[in-house]
A = this chain, B = another copy of it.
Amino acid sequence: MPKARYENIYKDLKQKIEANVFTYQELLPSENTLIQTYSCSRNTLRRAVSRLVTDGYVQTMQGKGVRNIYQPIAQAAFTIGEIESFRESAARNGHHPLTEVLLFTEFAVSEKQSLYTGFPAGTDIYYIQRLHYLDDMPLILNHNYFLKEAVPGLTKEIAENSIYQYLENTLHMTIVNSKRIMTVEKMTEIDEKHLMMNAQDYNCMAVVTSHTYNSDGVMFEYTQSRHRPDYFRFYENAVRKPT
């Protein structure tokens, strides 16, 4: 539940746009009108609108107004730019999620592992392999490395449900940001086995590796997500910034 006023205004406008209260390409009411509607200050309203811009819902044009450019097609995918757990994105798209824990271990990071995980060699971590199903189809094979110190008490049972829910609700950790790199990699035998694909077909995977930070500034998670290529679909809205 967001307490900030601009969050509520943002959500209200967003919901109105999604509900086609404004038609595609139509101008929204002017700032002054909306200020009266929500009886808030100009700054607060502008802040809400700027979120809609980064979401790709509207375009602002100086001297003209704010245009609705929302088209529902594109939104129905993994949305990047925000951090969302597997369960959250499944729920958002109306799918049935299931998570199978293939491996749950803990060990100390080796020299070699420290290079790609970013954890210093010797630090204790949980290493978890999980297979994510969507509507009973295995789609994503996840390799999670969690800093043990920052994520105490993690169990296989928690991993079967939502680790993020545990972090946020039980440990009261605040996840702040995540740096991700998307690549395409060769499929391994492990991928093949779990995702039930044969190499005659696709021989690659969409791979998303991420380093995630909490509000204490510690990088507590390194994850490699290996996605079945034919179901992989990432959406983003990019904004041209001044040079």
Instruction: Write the residues of chain A forming the contact surface with B, with a CB cutoff of 8 angstroms.
Output: 2, 4, 7, 25, 43, 53, 56, 59, 61, 67, 69, 71, 74, 77, 80-83, 174-186, 202-206, 211, 213, 215, 217, 229-230, 232-243
Contacts and interface: CB of A to CB of B under 8 A. Distances in A.
B215 A59 contact: yes
Chain B CB count within 10 A is highest, among A176, A211, A229, for A176
Contacts of A83: 238-240
A67 B214 CA distance: 12
Contacts of A241: 82
Given A83-B240, A186-B202, A203-B204, A235 B180 contact: yes
9 tightest A-B CB contacts, nearest first? A184-B229, A204-B204, A182-B234, A83-B240, A178-B238, A175-B240, A67-B217, A184-B206, A83-B238
